[in-house]
Copies of this chain bind each other. A is one copy, B any other.
Amino acid sequence: MSTYGLVHGSCHTGEHWGPVRKHLEAAGHTVVTPTVLGHGPGVEKRVNHAQQVEDLVHQIVTADLRDFVLLGHSYGGTIIARLAEEIPDRIRRLIFWNAFVPAPGHCLNDEVPPHYRAMFDGMAAQSPDNSVMLPWPVWREAFINDASEALAKEAYDSLSPEPYQPFKDKLDLSRFYQTTIPKSYLNCTEDTALPAGPDWGWHPRMSSRLGLYRLVQMPGSHEVLFTNPALLAAKIIEAGRD
């Protein structure tokens, strides 16, 4: 049995892993689902990427997590790439689930289409705390395209604004690109949160940056943690085993 550390994406918190956690635990695994700094309703949104990483390192070292499989979803990919630099000896394998694998020196915003950056810039400028939120139509059509409207709405109502500064913080990542920690990429084949295709898509654009990696795929959108947590848990196990 394995220990899984699951790092959520933008606008989510650790609590969103609930149904996935249940399936992984039912299969005998131990699951840790930290919340990244600045995430959740009512918390301080003026944080940066370095603070988020520092806080997670502290959480992991305090809990003395060792030999665990570290998964990042979406924005969480930028976090686990950095954790692989800070606490490499604790990590058994990295799983990027439709996650950003930033090129060396890039920030998240360098990896998204210009119309997304423009939308985020406008939202952050309008916000009281430099945060952004996915508009409903984008969420419904491009993020959770496999949900019923009712589930899409229920999930949307559980989201909270995303701190924007970490999208703009450049990440050196030179140590990440030299790590020998085994890596998997889990790709949902109907995920259009990034536009499908070679220019902007998740796979193989992001996955191929991992060098030698294990590809695991499943049907579904960017948000199968809401729409198909049972299959997601099974695929996490396929991606995470030795």
Q: Which chain A residues have a beta carbon within 8 Å of chain B's beta carbons? A: 137-138, 140-142, 145-146, 148-149, 182, 189-190, 192, 195-198, 201, 203-205, 207-208, 212-217, 219, 238, 241-242
Contact = CB atoms under 8 A, between A and B. Distances in A.
Contacts of A192: 213, 215
Contact of A217 (B142, B216, B219, B241): B219
B141 A212 contact: yes
Contacts of A146: 216, 238
Contacts of A208: 195-197
A4 B58 CA distance: 55
Taking the full assembly, how many copies of this chain does it contain? 3
Contacts of A140: 214
Contacts of A137: 182, 212
Contacts of A205: 197
A16 to B, nearest CB: 22
Main SS at interface, chain A: loop
Given A149-B242, A241-B149, A242-B149, A216 B195 contact: no
Given A196-B203, A203-B196, A216 B148 contact: no
Given A189-B217, A215-B145, A217-B190, A198 B196 contact: no
Nearest to A141: B214
A90 to B, nearest CB: 21
Given A141-B182, A146-B238, A204 B195 contact: yes
20 contacts: A138-B212, A140-B214, A141-B182, A141-B212, A141-B213, A141-B214, A142-B213, A145-B214, A146-B238, A149-B241, A149-B242, A189-B217, A190-B215, A192-B215, A196-B203, A196-B204, A196-B208, A197-B198, A197-B205, A198-B198
Contacts of A195: 204, 208
A190 B185 CA distance: 11
Contacts of A148: 241
